[in-house]
Structure 1
């Protein structure tokens, strides 16, 4: 336990330092904007990520430490898995699992970036721990805690719903039903509904817009493209690392840990099937990774293969960090350079008012870096949180718009006969426009 605490604490300190040094990405800035306008839930995602940014506002004077509450919660997942494994796996193997997680591109370095994945990973893991304890101890208190964990997980990301079929298949396949306390299940359902009530209430009030958006986002195409499935399979093998994937595939686990199969391969199989309907984003099956890494522990060569895993992903992480902190290097990649580009652009928000942007990414980043409220112009791009705000529609006879040269304008600009004037080119990519009536 002492060795684990040391590894956990040192890795957390490293994460907190890096999290404070690296500027928020555009998506993170978008979630940060949500924290400026707290709601029960949001069109794009449930509200947990906004709540965590709200808690982090006290740390904003310390560079980008607004991330810290979310990073700490995400790092707490490691502690949860220590308690899941400690009675079944020797500590040397638990250390292997910890290093696999810390050097994972999504569970490790990726956990510096605040997205809904951080809280859902914590509550997914906590729900596994509580479900196992409920089966063993049959305590109503644990069943209630399981419901609370699942409800909060639903407030983090809708993918938590996959927990239920994974658990049900495990109970059926492994003949564990006799260990289930029916009154406990009812208590789990009740507490789960209570703790996810903000999301349900928001959707009821907004015609289930968020549920509909996420369903269409994951199953939106009417025709099939084989590249969706191929890119999904190859991408997941790469993220997990080929040797680790093979180790998990070929492992034989003790009876007490057979649930790892269901919570590992279950989500991966689900998203494999959805890849026949639409493109699956690389991070969507992240809930499967801790269990898959747990399966890999039971391959006889995993400790030998660990060094290749650490060298490979450690080198990639070092390269990414070098790119982030070296201006000449980060300009070679548009996505890496984007936060720094928006940070420079944010001075415009202090000079022109009211200022609008042509995308939620740009509007959110300008708002975050300048601390001057900046909105996306209504209907200029796909519907998102900004379109729900009254400020997205100009109310005076003059407003300014910063946009990329290639981006168009909403139709209401011409319909309402706004007059456009170019104020200046800010860079080869951006232009500042003035609109008057």
Structure 2
């Protein structure tokens, strides 16, 4: 292949000021490169605690779950049918991420058409930079979290809302086309099946449209919004059905992430703010936030099409920001709002032809180094071992890396270092009590220990969770009284071990405390025994369900 032909597949050699064409080679070659790269990461990048937790959901499919809506489990289930291990659990996410990127490009094109601006190659390259190189969006293309499908849902919803508004302007209709209301609602429904963040974002879309259209015109849009609400409700109905059948447990759980028990603290606020900058990288966070702030400075700006992107961002961002003043808020919770800013921002952003083009070129290559090289290095087992060995040599242990790397070889290390051999039987979805007296079942004391053991032990066994103080998916799955007088081995962190609680449910035969090299500061507890009679276990379980701390 000649050099000229190769340049057709590179975004670095395209004419930036030219109008973008979908048939261009460099867009599809770039997306294909990131697809292959993310599939490689799916296989080799260490599985985080949340990921294996959601993967364990997929082995026990439900209409919804106490922690979050069900779409993440459904994605993992379908992928696991096709492939095993982390590759199967994550398999669909890189493809979903491509869909999100395409919807963002389509949305940006609509904004350019509505505002009569050129939709150039530079605009699409800018979108690729933000969607592929900002750390949070980059990794949400492989990490098994509800956020991946949420981003896809809101990106699709934004596009169909913009399409409805654009058609209304071109054809000078009195009302928004209900055909687009149907698709708008379907994608909002997908968002609601993914994460409860869909609600404030949908409210932002609604208010932004009313401000843009005026109240008088919005009265005529009632059929559009009725169609949207009905289609969104039908798609997301599994969430409402599950909550109705389970005393609205998930809604109670999520409410505790908001302002319940609010107590003013500055540290969570600062962690959230600086964490958001880190997740996006400061050179992406600051321009995006400034664009949004500038977009609502003037009253006339509320009549701009940019309002459709900006208002959902501010509603979501400030809800979480104010919540972080009193409770812990994770930085990635607000990232869907930043994604919605990208289509409008990139129409005006000129990173490679503007005043600061030299700086942006350097920052782009810096972003490539951070967002491609680091995950790739962490996907190489030899590299991970070097990191663990380096920590051990410098500080004497690898304790800070415990939760990232201990799980892969935990079963083997237990046998080699402590002579503890745990036989792990294949997973059974039904709570069978056959062979209850002959074999030991496995349990742990915290949700992520339960999930990590289940994922990494041989045969990926069913691991039970004996945490009686905190609610999780396992609270609903594991009715311990069904295993009265069954043999159990409990393995977990000493930090989670409450001797009185375990003695209430088990006749203990053996307790052992130890650490595994090179994690010398992380004490592990091994407990062996037989569960007590059914009546006792029922009392404990009933009290646990009654005293759940959501």
Determine the C-alpha separation between the residues in 2 that align with 1:116 and 1:197: 17
Per-residue deviation, 1:424? 7.5
Deviates further, 150-159 or 215-224? 215-224
Alpha-carbon distance, 1:301 to partner: 4.5
Residue 53 (structure 2) pairs with residue 15 (structure 1): no
| Alignment of structure 1 residues 18-417 onto 2, 5 Å | 18-61=41-84, 64-87=87-110, 88=112, 89-137=119-167, 138-177=176-215, 178=217, 181-251=221-291, 255-297=304-346, 298-299=348-349, 300-301=354-355, 303-317=357-371, 318-325=373-380, 326=383, 327-330=385-388, 332=391, 338-346=403-411, 348-350=422-424, 353-369=440-456, 370-380=458-468, 382-390=470-478, 392=480, 394-409=483-498, 411-416=500-505
Query: Where does the alignment leave 5 or more consecutive residues of structure 1 unmatched?
Result: none
Tell me, yes or no, if the aligned pair for 1:330 and 1:337 is still in contact at 8 Å. no
Question: Which sits farther off after the overlay, 25-34 or 331-340?
Answer: 331-340
In structure 2, what is the equivalent of residue 431 of structure 1?
A: 525
> Matches of 1:356 and 1:71 in 2, distance apart?
33
Task: Between 121-130 and 297-306, report the one with greater CA deviation.
Answer: 297-306
Q: Distance in 2 between matches of 1:353 and 1:268?
A: 48
Aligned-partner Cα distance in 2 for 1:412–1:246? 49
Aligned residues: 437
1:72-122: CA deviation from partner (whole Å, max 9, x where unpaired): 213311011111112413221221121122111110134221100000010
Equivalents in 2 of 1:194, 1:238: separation in Å? 37
Larger mean CA deviation between 78-87 and 205-214 belongs to: 78-87
Counterpart CA distance in 1 for 2:369 and 2:423 is 38
Q: CA distance change for structure 1 residues 80 and 276 in 2, over 3 Å: closer, same or farther?
A: same
Q: Could you tell which deviates more after superposition, 210-219 or 46-55? A: 210-219
Shift of 1:151: 1.3
Question: For 1:276-307, what per-residue CA distance to the aligned partner results, in whole angstroms no more than 9, with x for missing partners?
Answer: 34222111001112233445432444654433
- Per-residue Cα deviation, 1:184-243 (whole angstroms, up to 9, x for no partner): 211111111111110001001111111111110232433100222233223323333333
Instruction: Report the Cα offset of residue 54 of structure 1.
Output: 0.5
Structural RMSD (CA) = 2.7
Distance 1:54 1:285 in 2: 27
Q: Which residue is equivalent to 2:433? A: none
TM-score normalised to the size of structure 1?
A: 0.90
Look at both structures and tell me which one has the larger radius of gyration over its CA atoms: 2
CA deviations 1:101-144 (Å, max 9, x no partner) are 21111101342211000000100111111111223333322211
Compared CA separation, residues 415 and 65, structure 1 to 2 (3 A) = closer
**1:248/1:68 CA distance change after superposition, 3 Å:** same
TM-score where L is the length of structure 2: 0.73
Q: Is the 8 A contact 1:349 1:374 kept in 2?
A: no
